[in-house]
Amino acid sequence: MTRYSGMDMTEGPLLGKIVRFALPLTASGVLQLLFNAADSAVVGRFTGSQALAAVGSNGPLINLIVTLFMGLSIGTNVLTAQALGSHNEKDLVETVHTSIVASFLFGVILVVLGMFLARPMLNMVGSPEDVIDLAELYIKIYFLGMPSLMIYNYASAILRAVGDTKRPLVFMIISGVVNVVLNIILVVPFHMGVAGVGIATIVSETVSAVLVMRCLIKADANWRFDIKKARISKDKLLRMLKIGLPAGLQGASFSISNILIQSSINSFGSITMAGNAAAANIEGFCSVAADGFAQAAISFTGQCYGAKKYDRIDKILILTYILTTAACLCTCIPSYLLGHYILRVFTDDIEVVKVGMIRLGTVCIVNFIGQWMGTPNNVARAMGYSSFPMINTIFFVCVVRVIWIMTVFRSRPSLRILYFSYPMTWFIAAVVALIYYLHIRKKVREMDSGSGTEKASASA
C-alpha cells in the first residue's frame, strides 16, 4: 500500500492548515536572523572591528552566490508537492533521491568556487586592504560547509512539501544553539577570531544536515531517503533546474539590486550608512514575519496542482495575500511607530536615528507590497511556470531601479527619492505578476479540459 504521510493540502479547510504550516517557518526565519546577529556580536565584541568588518563584508557576496543554488531547492519543493498531490510514487521517489544527491554535488561545486575565487571576488567588490586577509580566511572556511548547508536546505524543502515545518524548526534551534556556544568557546577562551566563527558555522550546519537526513532516512513514507536508491534522474534534475534556476537568478537579482542601491546610500556618508543599516535590520524581521505564509503558497499550490484542484489554488492565492499583508502590517506599523526607540538599540546618535526613520517610513511601512509581488510569483512557480516570474522581478527590481537611480534620483538626490524605488517597483511587478497568474490559470484549465476531451473521445 502506498504511504503518503504528512499534511494533505488538497482537502479540508485551508486557513488553519496554512497558518500551522507557516508559523514554524516564520519562527525559523526570526531565529536565523537572531543567530546571525549573535555571530556578529561575538566576533565584534571579543575580536575587534576589523574581524567584524571581515565577517560582515562577506554578507552580500555570499548571499549573491548561495542564493542562486538555494533557489534550486524551490524546484525540489514544487516537484515533491506535485508528486504527492498526484499520488505518483515513482516521481516522488526519483525527486527525493535526485534532490539529495544534487544538493551534495552543488555543495561540492561551491567549495571549489570558494577556494579558488575567494580573493578575486573580494577584490572585485573592493574589500579594504586592512580586512581582506581576514575576509578571505572567513569565506574559505564558510564555503567548506556548503555541502552540509545545501543538504539541509534541499532536505528541508522535501519536508515542507509534505507539510512538515516543525521538525526543520527544531533542527534549526539545535544547530543555532550549537553555533552560538561554539562561537563563544572558540572566540573568547581560544581567541580564534574569524576562524572560530567560521568553524562554528560549519559544525552547526553539519549538525542540522545530519538531523534532517536522519529524519528522511527514518521516515515511514514514500518520501523516505534510501542510500541504495541514491542516484540522479536526468528528467527530474532538468525539471528541478527549470523551476529552481529562475528562482535562484531572481534571488540573486535582489542581491545585485541591493548592492547598487547601497552604493547610492554610501554617497550620503557614514551617518546615512549607519541609519540605513539599522533600519534594514528592523525591516528584515518584518519581512520574515510574512515569509512563512509566502513559502506556504508554494507547497500548497504544488500539491493542489498535482491533484488538479485548480479552484483551490485560487483560494490559496487569496488567503496568502491576506495573511502576508496582515503579518506585515502587524509588524511594520509598530516598528514605525516605535522606530525612535527601537533604533536606539543600535545607536545613540540622533542623526543616525533620523536617517533610520526615513527608511522605516518609506520602505518598511509598505513592505506588504513586496509580498503582493512575491505571492503570485510563488503560485506560478508551484504550477511549473518559473521563467516569467524571474523576468518580471529582474526587470523591475534591477533594471527599473537602475534607471530610476540614474535619472530621477540623479536629478533629485534625496534619500526619500532613492527609497521610493522600492515600493514603486514592488507595486508594478505585483500587478504584472497577478495578470500573469490569471493568464496561466486560464491556460492550465484549457489544457486540462482539452486533455479530458481527448480521453473521452478515445474511450468512445
* DSSP per position, 268-302: T-HHHHHHHHHHHHHHHHHHHHHHHHHHHHHHHHH
Contact predicate 19/239, CB 8 Å:
no
Contacts of 203 (CB under 8 A, 6+ apart): 178, 179, 182
Position 450 scores a pLDDT of 64
Residue ranges of domains in the chain: 11-232, 245-446
- Cα-based distances in Å from 137 to 17, 115, 149, 198, 329: 44, 10, 19, 9, 41
Q: What angle do CA 123, 129, 131 make, to 5 degrees?
A: 95
Closest by Cα among 261, 293, 260, 432 to 362: 261
Cβ-based neighbour number of residue 10 at 10 Å: 19
Position 451 scores a pLDDT of 57
Q: Which three cell numbers stand for residue 307?
A: 491533484
Contacts of 354 (CB under 8 A, 6+ apart): 275
> Could you tell me the pTM of the whole model?
0.81
Position 54 scores a pLDDT of 67
Position 447 scores a pLDDT of 80
CA 322 to chain centroid, in Å, comes to 20
- CA dihedral in degrees (196, 201, 204, 205; nearest 10)? -150
Contact predicate 139/62, CB 8 Å:
yes
**Amino acid present at 365:** I
- CA dihedral in degrees (343, 349, 355, 361; nearest 10)? 30
Closest by Cα among 211, 383, 216, 248 to 314: 383
Report the C-alpha gap between 310 and 42 in whole angstroms.
50
Report the C-alpha gap between 144 and 148 in whole angstroms.
9
Three-state DSSP at 83 gives helix
Cβ-based neighbour number of residue 438 at 10 Å: 12
- Cα-based distances in Å from 46 to 50, 66, 128, 193, 197: 11, 28, 21, 8, 11
Q: What DSSP letter does each residue of 404-441 carry, written as one string?
A: HIIIIIHHS--HHHHHTHHHHHHHHHHHHHHHHHHHHH
The position carrying cell 517610513 is: 361
In the chain, which stretches have pLDDT less than 50? Answer: 1-4, 453-460
